Structure 1
Amino acid sequence: MRAIFGIVTLLSCLSVHAEPCEKDAVALAEKGAQFIKTYGKEEMIARINRKDPMFYHGSLYLAMRDLRGITIAHPTTALIGKDFLDVPDADGKAFRHEMVAVARGRGKGWVDYKFRNPETGKVAPKSTYVLRVGDVALEAGIYKH
């Protein structure tokens, strides 16, 4: 039931706004958390890495990071296993440190930063919802216009 609710929430916000919004990111992360609890972390990693449509919707997708900050699953598979913690955003903000702090601390929350939007090629404001699930953090981000 929960997964179905997540899909309905995702589709309703996208159909109204034509672009993903905060509800979509939260729903996607929660759907990923439920998937991990049901099928395990390794299956979630495989699904993320192969851009499974259940967890990949163009500019809105799920990624996974360990609590040290290493990317362990991402639709852009070249990022897997890399430590980008100290690579800042366009304004010099070390936003990945903040993501790890959110995951280690309260376990869920938003991180704002600027990043190149792959659809437009331009740097744009982005907000990512971080949700800790056991020893990993799921991340789902949206670009703000």
Structure 2
Amino acid sequence: MKFHFAHFATAAVAATALFTLPAADAAEPTEKDAIAMAEKGAAFMKANGKEAMIKKISAKDPDYVQGSLYVDMRDINTGIVLAHPINPSIVGKDLTDVPDASGKKYRREIIELAAKKGSGWVDYQYKNPTTGKIEPKTTYILRVGDVVLEAGIYKK
């Protein structure tokens, strides 16, 4: 039996196709994924401190940034964004009373929920980094000391 390069090339292309699925085929993150990511961040913070967590988020650490799912952090007392992997231009800003596309002051709701209950979900409209469009989003918030970790998913 003779070996033909064309057969090898065809087999190589077929094998590559099996192992490189487009990102669009990746499963969309779930509420469970958002909770797990926020809790992982809380555990990291408790072990390593707030500054170390800020560095992880700012560096887009893959443990805390996975496609449209990511963790960001805000100060519970001032509302100031302390770390945001997707939109670093808002770090250092208090956007508490800046509404979303529908007029909802969701950041105020996040702070109030964190202060009263320590964790929970807040729904709002936000720009999806993977589509570039304003979409409905639900975010799990988790208070860790004087900060709030937030991990949200886009609803389809």
TM-score (norm 2): 0.80
Deviation for aligned residue 1:83: 1.2
Deviations 1:25-56 (A, max 9, x none): 00000000000111111100000001011111
Residue 15 (structure 2) aligns with: none
Q: Give 1 or 2 for the bigger CA radius of gyration.
A: 2
Residues 1:130 and 2:141 are matched in the alignment: yes
2:72 and 2:127 mapped to 1: Cα distance? 16
Which residue does the alignment assign to 1:56?
A: 65
Q: Distance in 2 between matches of 1:62 and 1:91?
A: 23
| SS state at 1:96 partner | helix
Q: Deviations over 1:101-141 (max 9, x none)?
A: 01111000000011121221222110000000011000001
Unaligned runs of 5+ in 1: 1-16
TM-score by length of 1: 0.86
SS in 2 for 1:105: helix
Within 5 A, what are the aligned runs for 1:108-119?
A: 108-119=119-130
Q: In the alignment, does 2:35 pair up with 1:26?
A: yes
% identical aligned pairs? 60
Aligned structure 1 segments of 4 or more residues deviating by more than 4 angstroms: none
The residue that corresponds to 1:144 in the other structure is 155
Cα distance in 1 for residues equivalent to 2:104 and 2:124: 7
Residue 84 of structure 1: how far off its partner (Å): 1.0
Q: Which runs of 5+ in 2 are unaligned?
A: 1-25
Aligned with residue 47 of structure 2, among 27, 38, 51: 38
The whole-number CA distance in structure 2 between the counterparts of 1:81 and 1:122 is: 24
Task: Name the structure 2 match of 1:72.
Answer: 82
Q: Provide the rounded CA distance (Å) in 1 between the counterparts of 2:149 and 2:37.
A: 9
Q: Hey, what's the Cα distance between the residues in 1 that align with 2:127 and 2:45?
A: 29
